[in-house]
Amino acid sequence: MNKIICFLTFFTLVIYPVCFAEGEGDQQIMDFKLAGYTQTGEKTWDVKGQSADIMNDDIALKQIQANSYSKEEQINLVADKGNFDKNQTKLHLQDNVVITTNAGAKLTTDSLDWSQNQDLISTKDKVNIDHEMFMAEAKGLEAKPNLNSASLMEQVEVTVKDSKKKTDPKNSTVITCDGPLEIDYDKGSAVFNKNVKATSPGQGDIYADKMTAFFRVGKSKSTVVKSSTPGFLGNKDATIEKIVAEGNVKILKDDNVVFSDEATYDAIQKKILLTGSPKLFIYTEKSENQDASFGN
């Protein structure tokens, strides 16, 4: 996915000189097509559109279709329209913005902004990400161009699909939070913030103020999420090693409830450690409840 922004950079840097070479003032280029090749004649990228209107410092684009080609991956980007501000080096894509990869990942949103000066891509609109192993929905996105660091801003919902029954929501783990969800691939962490709830089939519900998933890129004996794309959509084998829930932790399974300040789940050992004066409530048919408190 980091190549998407490199691709957008190619797009803006090439569109500008080609269009400007037509002369100064308002102009229009119809059905434009651009492409880049290696020295051996292999195509590396192409861009085409219905029209490009050059208006002083702005270039208005319609029906944008762009592709990036490499041995590792192929990326396609489409949008109904866009605008490139030459002075501020900002690209705005608008309406039916869709990014897809040959690995099967797909990102859709109504708008997307890329600022070279701020080194940031962003949108305030709803974002949907559909991947072979997970789905994500949120309102708003901010990310570094290589997407190794990204934040889904509000109303976050992530569905981790079951490896054997990917399309059955009954076999999926769902994590929701008010946001933001902060993903840092360099640090190997994904932090869910504010009113976090994780629901897993057969495991019950976990509530917390904050929940952090720590993962490692590389192969391991634990559960592995595979993808061939880098950055936010995952580029290698991503292994979840540990999940830490913090602040007002509540674990609800059947009629039993556990409270603690913090809970750490070891995904490799399949064990959970409760700290911070944990308290267990066991409900039975014979008695209303049994209060089983135990130390750290």
92: pLDDT strictly greater than 70: yes
Q: Tell me, what CATH number does 130's domain have?
A: 2.60.450.10
Domain termination residue (choose one: 61, 87, 116): 116
Are residue 97 and residue 142 in the same domain, yes or no? Answer: no
Residues in contact with 276: Cβ distance below 8 Å, sequence separation at least 6, in sequence order: 249, 260, 261, 262, 296
169 — pLDDT class (breaks 50, 70, 90): low
Average pLDDT, the chain: 76
Q: Which residues pair with 27 in a beta bridge?
A: 54
Are residue 144 and residue 246 in the same domain, yes or no? Answer: yes
Are residue 99 and residue 38 in the same domain, yes or no? Answer: yes
Residue 32's domain spans which residues? Answer: 1-116
Q: Which tokens in the block code for residue 133?
A: 């192993």
2 — pLDDT class (breaks 50, 70, 90): very low
Q: Give the count of domains, the chain.
A: 2
Are residue 125 and residue 221 in the same domain, yes or no? Answer: yes
60: pLDDT strictly greater than 90: no
How many other β-carbons are positioned within 10 Å of the β-carbon of residue 290? 12
How far apart CA 6 and CA 189 sit, in angstroms, is 24
Are residue 25 and residue 123 in the same domain, yes or no? Answer: no
Closest by CA position to 231, among listed 212, 214, 217, 210: 217
Q: What pLDDT is attached to residue 225? A: 44
Q: 232-284 pLDDT, tens per residue?
A: 554 445 567 888 999 999 999 888 899 999 998 887 787 888 888 888 887 76
How far apart CA 198 and CA 177 sit, in angstroms, is 9
Are residue 124 and residue 112 in the same domain, yes or no? Answer: no
Q: 96-147 pLDDT, tens per residue?
A: 999 887 767 788 999 998 876 777 889 999 999 887 767 889 999 998 755 5
How far apart CA 149 and CA 268 sit, in angstroms, is 25
Are residue 196 and residue 294 in the same domain, yes or no? Answer: yes
Q: What pLDDT is attached to residue 249? A: 93
287: pLDDT strictly greater than 70: no
Return phi, psi of residue 120, to 5°.
-150, 140
How far apart CA 15 and CA 83 sit, in angstroms, is 11
How far apart CA 150 and CA 183 sit, in angstroms, is 5
How far apart CA 178 and CA 138 sit, in angstroms, is 9
Are residue 90 and residue 107 in the same domain, yes or no? Answer: yes
Are residue 169 and residue 48 in the same domain, yes or no? Answer: no
Q: 13-29 pLDDT, tens per residue?
A: 455 444 444 444 567 77
Q: Tell me, what CATH number does 64's domain have?
A: 2.60.450
Residues in contact with 122: Cβ distance below 8 Å, sequence separation at least 6, in sequence order: 112, 113, 115, 140, 141, 142, 143
Are residue 92 and residue 191 in the same domain, yes or no? Answer: no
CB 91 within 8 A of CB 114: yes
Q: Which tokens in the block code for residue 19?
A: 């269009």
Q: What pLDDT is attached to residue 253? A: 84
Are residue 245 and residue 212 in the same domain, yes or no? Answer: yes
8: pLDDT strictly greater than 80: no
**Cα radius of gyration rounded to whole Å, the chain:** 23
Identify which has the larger pLDDT, 93 or 1.
93
Domain termination residue (choose one: 72, 87, 116): 116
181: pLDDT strictly greater than 90: yes
Domain termination residue (choose one: 64, 86, 116): 116
Residues in contact with 42: Cβ distance below 8 Å, sequence separation at least 6, in sequence order: 69
How far apart CA 264 and CA 195 sit, in angstroms, is 17
Share of the chain above pLDDT 70, in %: 72
Q: 68-89 pLDDT, tens per residue?
A: 777 666 778 899 998 888 777 7
